[in-house]
Structure 1
Amino acid sequence: MNIWIFNHYARTPKQSGGTRHFELASYLVKKGCSVTIFASSFSHNKKEEMITYNSQRYQVEYIDGVKFVWLKTIPYKNSLKRIMNFISYSVNAYKVAMKDFKDEKVDLIIGSTVHPLAALAAYFVSKKLNAKFYFEERDLWPQTFIDFGKLKEKSLLSRVLFKVENFLYQKADKIIVLFNKATDYVVSKGVERDKVIYLPNGVNTGNHLDIKPSPEVDKIFREINNRFIVIYTGSHGIANHLKPILDLAKTTSKLDPSGKIHFLLVGNGPVKKDLIKGASDLNLKNISFADPVKKSDIPYLLSKADASYISIMDSPLYKWGFSMNKLYDYMAAGLPIFMYSNPAIVGEYSNLKGAIVSNDNVELAEQIVRLSNDSQMIEQMNRSLKVHVEENYSWNKLGQRFYNEFQLDKWGKYDSNKKTV
């Protein structure tokens, strides 16, 4: 099978950012498939170009058998230029695919939304090349922005985006969703349930068994060795709801006068400067911030921590569930998870044996202090999380699930006796 994936922000393990499609593609390559990922080489995190193009429009790179077609797109630092970047990616992806790769026999093209234009480009290429088209709706456009208060439901832009979403639903052979309840959202729009594939984010559990030391990571921990580290990794954006961690650090410091417990936030994003200033204003000595690390360094980074943190905003959006890469990384590392959230919002995670969920920072602080003095409890949570992620979110399991779904869609059957790679 020859599969193309259109994902504006696809990344490799050597870069910081999401490696969802690289991990899926790696599994499919092991199953004998050929996989090409069309991605922009402009780094959203660093706001800089990763490749020198000269007069070229794209470059091809093979990583562990996965072919990346890196596309030149318009650089940006503000919202208007970012929209132009969206457009330039979609136009260039279509042009490059149709001009330089059109002679390939393609079985399936996946259009993934970080924005809808990428999925539209994938659809039009699939139509030209007579390939199946799968629409992967990672964020619910425009529902996400409506629920976050960024758009009004009846606005012109919302109406246009809802029409684009419906168009992609109707044209897709299958619809891939990442949230555990997002199938219900799609069905509520008039789509048949058996057209939807639930394929959450996952983790390559093998990476956490093959931990490679990193000088960059060692540098982060140099001044906080011998502490009980509660770590957060990933974007520092509005949707990540990180402001409560400042209050949690302050509350914990009162219960931990020795300063044994330390909070570490690794990543970047638009609210990072505000968080650093907030920590300084509160004179917090038990919290620090570090730059993003490449994805392949995440297992080593997490191996040096003792527990993990995540915050889920109390928003109507999460009634459809969520699928955050960092959660599965935490689980694979066996790090107890402290989750600041309304337990009713997070569903299954409120009952997860390796997680403590509360929207009360005093309760979370007390539990962190308790855990820091209970190695037996840490070990129990560690085992529970590793079993849970291996059974539900390993890329071996998810890759095989997707492979079976496509076989069933293309040929009406799949070989259930074939083992995962």
Structure 2
Amino acid sequence: MRILLIHQYFLEKGDGGGSRFNEMTQVWAEQGHEVTVLAGMVHYSSGLKPDKYKGKYFYKDLNFYDHVNVIRCHVSEAYNINFLGRLWAYFSFVFSSIWAGLFKVHKKYDVIIVTSPPLFVGITAYMLSMFKKLPFVFEIRDLWPESAIDTGVLQNKTIIKFAYWFESFIYKKASLINVLTPAFRDKLIKEKGVPKDKVIFIPNAADFSLAKKLVDSFDTITFRKDHQLENKFVITYVGAHGVANHLVQLLDAAERLKDTNVLIQLIGSGMQKEQLVADADSRNLQNVRFVDPVPKEEVFKYILASDMGASVLKKVDTFKTIYSNKTFDYMSCKKPVLLAIDGVSRALVEKANCGIYVEPENTDDIVRGIKEAIANKSELASLGENGYHYARKHFDRTLLAKQYVENIQEIFDKNNV
């Protein structure tokens, strides 16, 4: 099968962050499928454009992986200035990716997959599906515009009205809709009127290949010594430092834990990172460490050298519907999870018995959870093992990637009956 993937935030090789489709496309290619990706030039968390793309509207990275080609499309560098700048960045990618899909992609494809947010990438998928007469699969990684409204990022009533209208429109036009959590599936079917047989569920998942490779060879003791982590109870957060993540709640907990050996390590970048660093400095939080984004393999080393992994989000109802992808990274590394996300993420961690839930934005409860972990340190290894085996059974990315393409094959076959 020949697959055209539209993914504004498809990662560069070695970039830190959500690598769901970097891994999916490699599995598909290994199965014999041919994949082309229309991607953006700006990293989703840093908002920065690498020098090699500056002054260019398109950049072809042929054979990015074996049998996976990537065409980078222009994205405005106004991305991190303010909301209007980010909105323009979204639409600049819509325009450039439509152009690339029409005039830079010369092969004939069988199906289009588009993954959101941003929601507006659906415009590209719809336009290309019309011109190329192809079915398209619309994937929902995050409920948008709900999440943007709940976090206060989206406030303009006209834009909100348009976003809801376009969401409904794109659901109708898509041949198939993939959701990443059971809560998304329920919401689409029960509240948004999407037909049940149109919705599939291929969730976020764990990358066991990288974790296994490191576990067999990684020297945790030396790494901890080299990074001044000895005699510390290390809690590592990996991911974006944005409004939705609300990492100030970890700083608030760290301030209350100054008299312990807890070290909270925050790896990544984002719109609020400078503000968070300044906040930690002003409070003299010696037990908080900021680490710039590192490649995925390096990220796993930090996780393996930690005592726990933290998954946290702002306390809003929309985030009760999501699985945090970093949770699966912790599980694949056999690390227990400190979870400050309610809803389906909490249900997952409790069912797998792989961590400690704390109420988001509740400093008392976050401190309570961390102290509980310290007091029961001997049990943490068991929690990590539980998470690993549960994820291995239910959230193995290789198996889910194969299931995904099987569902796509079904709609391809229907369109060719």
Corresponding position of 2:50: 49
1:232 counterpart letter in structure 2: Y
Note the C-alpha offset of 1:152: 5.4
Q: Structure 2 CA distance, aligned partners of 1:370 and 1:117? A: 43
Query: Per the alignment, in what secondary structure is the counterpart of residue 284 of structure 2?
Result: coil
Q: After TM superposition, list the pairs within 5 Å mapping 1:4-403 onto structure 2.
A: 4-44=4-44, 45=46, 47-52=48-53, 57-65=58-66, 66-76=68-78, 77-79=80-82, 80-102=84-106, 104-151=107-154, 155-187=157-189, 188-211=191-214, 222-254=227-259, 256=260, 260-319=261-320, 321-342=321-342, 346-359=346-359, 361-372=363-374, 374=376, 376-403=378-405
Aligned partners of 1:111 and 1:123 also within 8 Å? no
Q: Structure 2 CA distance, aligned partners of 1:303 and 1:357? A: 20
Corresponding position of 1:419: none
1:288-328 alpha-carbon deviations (Å, 9 max, x no partner):
11111122322212111111112233312134x11222111
1:224 counterpart letter in structure 2: L
Q: Structure 2 CA distance, aligned partners of 1:335 and 1:303? A: 7
Note the C-alpha offset of 1:343: 6.8
2:335 counterpart letter in structure 1: L
Corresponding position of 2:412: 410
Aligned partners of 2:15 and 2:295 also within 8 Å? yes
Note the C-alpha offset of 1:7: 0.9
Query: Per the alignment, in what secondary structure is the counterpart of residue 269 of structure 2?
Result: coil
Q: Structure 1 CA distance, aligned partners of 2:110 and 2:316? A: 39
Unaligned stretches of 5+ residues in structure 1: 413-421
Relative to structure 1, is the Cα distance of residues 140 and 400 closer, same or farther in structure 2, using a 3 angstrom cutoff?
A: same
Q: Structure 1 CA distance, aligned partners of 2:53 and 2:337? A: 41
Relative to structure 1, is the Cα distance of residues 239 and 56 closer, same or farther in structure 2, using a 3 angstrom cutoff?
A: closer
Query: Per the alignment, in what secondary structure is the counterpart of residue 239 of structure 1?
Result: coil
Q: Structure 2 CA distance, aligned partners of 1:134 and 1:362? A: 43
Q: Structure 2 CA distance, aligned partners of 1:344 and 1:116? A: 22
Identity of aligned residues (%): 23
How many residue pairs were aligned? 403
1:355-412 alpha-carbon deviations (Å, 9 max, x no partner):
1112254454355345446554122112101011111222112112212212233336
Corresponding position of 1:417: none
1:152-211 alpha-carbon deviations (Å, 9 max, x no partner):
59x222111111111101110001112321112212222101101112222221110112
Aligned partners of 2:14 and 2:294 also within 8 Å? no
